[in-house]
Structure 1
Amino acid sequence: MISELKNIQTIRAASRLMVRELGFMNQNLATTDYPPSAVHSMLEVDAHGSMTAAQLVQILGLEKSSVSRMLAKLVKAGELEETPSAEDARTKLLSLTGKGRETVRNINTYADERVAAALGKLDPFTQDTVSQGLSSYASALKASRENGEGIVRNSVNIVTGYHPGMIGRITEMHGSYYAREHHFGSFFERKVAAGLVDFSDRLDKPCNQIWLAMVNDRVVGSVAIDGEDLGNNEAHLRWFILDDGCRGSGVGRKLIAEAMKFCDEQKFTSVQLWTFNKLKAARRLYESFGFELSKEWEGDQWGSTITEQQFTRKSR
């Protein structure tokens, strides 16, 4: 709850700052003589080619009377024109005039320059994060206003095999999560990285495979099956991790399902995994796929003394 409250406060503060910095507190916006609602209306009309006042009311989320007055002023100013709809003469379509198209070009030039200048202050990775995060957050706000059900998520693709940057990204996710939640240190992170380097050199073997959950070409989850290191035709499930934003989304279940399907196809006699007793959500997921606790002991293979566990899934 503390983390959720912190996110709420951070987002609200950032939203207020954006409103001020983008000029929405002013009476006019983007080098025009028009208020934000009028500027947004012209941008929407430009994006759609033509549209009705009713459609604008729905998009802008404003009162019908307010939109009608604002559109009347834009028509009078020569920015918009009204024409009867070919399907229903009683319905009027709004479209940009020549003057309106020039106004929109100026608005877009001004806005593009502002965004480009801001992005120029950020590194490329953060630029992508901002782009993806703002898009998702805006969609979630819209869904909330429209009382939409479910959770707005970016499309997640599950891919196999080596992907550039995956060793560093999987190590990063492990290091960040386990340091924050369980106080693991550099010993653990080094061990993850070294294991991934060794495993990546063996991915050409048919008994080895890795699955990556990808969002916009960014790794947000992983799991691997190492069919070599245990011997005796046993598979080793390794490096199961999810980005913070993916937990509870079902992505983890998809990754494990793919890995178990692979193990069944390869006809391993069993699948083994090593974990520890604090990862309760992961344990429930493992058990739902037929894993059973086979051994428990006090150990320090991850750099600190914890109650380690071994889970086993027998062949199907």
Structure 2
Amino acid sequence: MPVESSELIQQLRQASRQMVRELGFMQATLAATDYPPSAVHALLEIGQGHAVTGGDLVTLLGLEKSSVSRLVRKLVEAGEISEQADARDARSKRLQLSAQGRRTLAGIERFAQAQVAAALGHLSADQQRRASTGIADYARALRAARLGEVPEAPEGWSIARGYRPGVIGRIAEMHARYYADLAGFGQPFESLVARDMAELMGRLHNPRNEVWVALRGERIVGSIAIDGEGEGDEAILRCFILDAAARGQGLGRRLLVEALAFCDQWGFAATLLWTFKGLDAARALYEEQGFVLVQEQVGEQWGAAVTEQCFVRARRAERDTIR
């Protein structure tokens, strides 16, 4: 989407500078700790499970590998975190908070909660909602620009995360209509999708599980979900579908990028998906994002005989090693 005006850019720059100052990032330490902002953010990401390796911190914090290595070493020496050998990858070390680190994180959380709550007290309920949505959208856009990710959804369309009323039925409907025309799947397939989605939606309290939807206004026109409770610390990509009216807008790629960024943040051992032979456009999109076909078999679990395919995307560190 083109930028509306240079005035808008100036307004956002001014607001960004003011936020940096008001949040305390110009100080040598942050959040009532003895640590600089980079260390505070590292503790937050490790404690919340978003960063389990130094490589995760490189991506999340936007720092050089050498800077992250020094940062991790200082936090280890300070007794805030520990490094554990990764049983699946001898070249990688998993990061976790120590008891001291958990106490430090609790103090950071208390400070930040109070700081944000005090600021929100100066806004109306509507202003609070708009501030939350606007800041989140802008932060995602900044990250996407830094990492060279696919831009946000085009004007009039949007991507939303989390459960919303009607999502189970709408996802089942989109699957049923698409695969009835494509492969002749009928009632057993629609019932299977609805049952599986209802079961997964009941587990969204686990932060390792998530669902995203593409929206046209308030209407759900696409979906993707991650089941983070697979065997062997694997994530399962599920319910990836677009309504006919939503195709050709780049929304499928946007949904997939969102879901895989979530998988990278959690550091799953791998992400896998099951589909079937003949979906060439979808396969090209999967392979573009690092998936590799590892298994084929004839099956009828979806209501008709098809050649089922399993694609796997390795953990980010392993993909980087291969490249």
Distance in 2 separating the partners of 1:293 and 1:247: 24
Query: CA separation in 1, counterparts of 2:296 and 2:195?
Result: 25
Quick one: which amino acid aligns to residue 236 of structure 1? I
Q: Is contact 1:154-1:215 (8 Å) kept?
A: no
Matched, 1:173 2:174: yes
Give the CA deviation at 1:301. Answer: 1.4
1:70-128: CA deviation from partner (whole Å, max 9, x where unpaired): xxxxxxxxxxxxxxxxxxxxxxxxxxxxxxxxxxxxxxxxxxxxxxxxxxxxxxxxxxx
Distance, in Å, in 2 between the alignment partners of 1:189 and 1:181 is 14
What secondary structure, in the 3-state scheme, does the structure 2 residue paired with 1:204 have? Answer: coil
Structure 1 residue aligned with 2:78 = none
Q: What is the SS of the residue equivalent to 1:175?
A: helix
Question: Quick one: distance in 1 between partners of 2:253 and 2:156?
Answer: 16
The normalised TM-score by structure 1 is 0.51
Whichever residue aligns with residue 267 of structure 2, its letter is: K
Alignment partner, residue 191 of structure 2: 190
Q: Report the CA distance between 1:293 and its aligned residue.
A: 0.2
Correspondences of 1:85-100 after superposition (within 5 Å): none
Q: Which residue of structure 2 aligns with residue 210 of structure 1?
A: 211
Distance 2:293 2:252 in 1: 20
Give the corresponding residue for 1:274.
Answer: 274
1:138-172 per-residue CA deviation (whole Å, 9 max, x = no partner) reads xxxxxxxxxxxxxxx76111111101111111100
Q: Which amino acid aligns with 2:292?
A: E
Which amino acid in the other structure matches residue 314 of structure 1? A
The TM-score normalised by the length of structure 2 is: 0.50
How many angstroms apart in 2 are the aligned matches of 1:300 and 1:208? 27
Matched residue, 1:199: 200
Structure 1 counterpart of 2:156:
155
More relative contact order in 1 or in 2 (CA 8 Å, sep 6+)?
2
C-alpha displacement of 1:304: 1.0
Q: CA deviation at 1:215?
A: 1.0
Q: Is 1:252 matched with 2:252?
A: yes
Q: Within 2, Cα distance between the matches of 1:270 and 1:301?
A: 24
Corresponding residue for residue 285 of structure 2: 285
Counting aligned pairs with the same residue, the percent is 50
Partners of 1:191 and 1:279 in 2: how far apart? 20
- Find the aligned partners of 2:280 and 2:249 in 1 and give their Cα distance: 16
- Does the CA contact (< 8 Å) of 1:297 and 1:307 recur in 2? yes
Structure with larger Rg = 1
Separation of aligned partners in 1, 2:286 and 2:246: 17
SS of match in other structure, 2:231: coil
Question: What does residue 315 of structure 1 align with?
Answer: 315
Q: Which runs of 5+ in 2 are unaligned?
A: 1-153, 317-323
Question: Any conservation in 2 of the 1:223–1:238 contact (CA below 8 Å)?
Answer: yes
**3-state SS in 1 of match to 2:302:** coil
Alignment check: 8 A CA contact 1:223 1:241 kept: yes
Counterpart of 1:212 in 2: which secondary structure? strand
Deviation at 1:181, TM superposition (A): 1.4
CA distance in 2, matches of 1:162, 1:284: 28
Q: Distance in 1 between matches of 2:197 and 2:296?
A: 25
Q: Structure 1 residues 252, 204: CA separation in 2 closer, same or farther (over 3 Å shift)?
A: same
Unmatched segments (≥5 aa) in structure 1: 1-152
Deviation at 1:245, TM superposition (A): 1.1
| Per-residue CA distance 1:187-237 (angstroms, 9 max, x = gap) | 100000000110010011010000111111110100000011x22110000
Matches within 5 A, 1:230-245: 230-245=230-245
- Aligned residue runs from structure 1 range 1-316, under 5 A: 155-228=156-229, 230-316=230-316
How many angstroms apart in 2 are the aligned matches of 1:195 and 1:306? 20
